[in-house]
Amino acid sequence: MSDVKADIQKAIDSSDVVLFMKGTKEMPQCGFSSRVAGVLNYMGVEFQDVNVLADEGIRQGIKEFSDWPTIPQLYVKGEFVGGCDIITEMTLSGELDQLFDQKGVVYSKEAAAKIREANA
């Protein structure tokens, strides 16, 4: 398990924004992963995707690592932010924008506003 934990930590440390997901950002393999990747892609966020379907150790290990039972899982600057429901809520409330601003993550404020507009 320690190797898996080290691999997970290395992935989180490798990029400012990391999404542990089923599939890839180009080809998500579940609706929840697709939603979060879609939000990040639409907002123009540069992020590293980690396909948990490619490695059973990572798939189980990330749940223990974060103490969070579901995938996808979003990390920003090494900090666990949440899964699909939390990211959706944060996007619609503007909290995700605030987090990106605080952490110095580049994103399109215009795209974020369009998401909120479309869901108002």
Which residues make up each annotated binding site for [2Fe-2S] cluster? 30
Would you list which residues are annotated within the binding site? 30
Q: Name the helix (H) or strand (E) containing 18.
A: strand 17-21
Determine the Cα–Cα distance for residues 28 and 19; give it in Å rounded to an integer.
11
* Amino acid at position 78, single letter: G
Determine the Cα–Cα distance for residues 29 and 72; give it in Å rounded to an integer.
11
Q: Tokens 């180009």 identify what position?
A: 26
* Amino acid at position 84, single letter: C
Q: Tokens 């809520």 identify what position?
A: 89
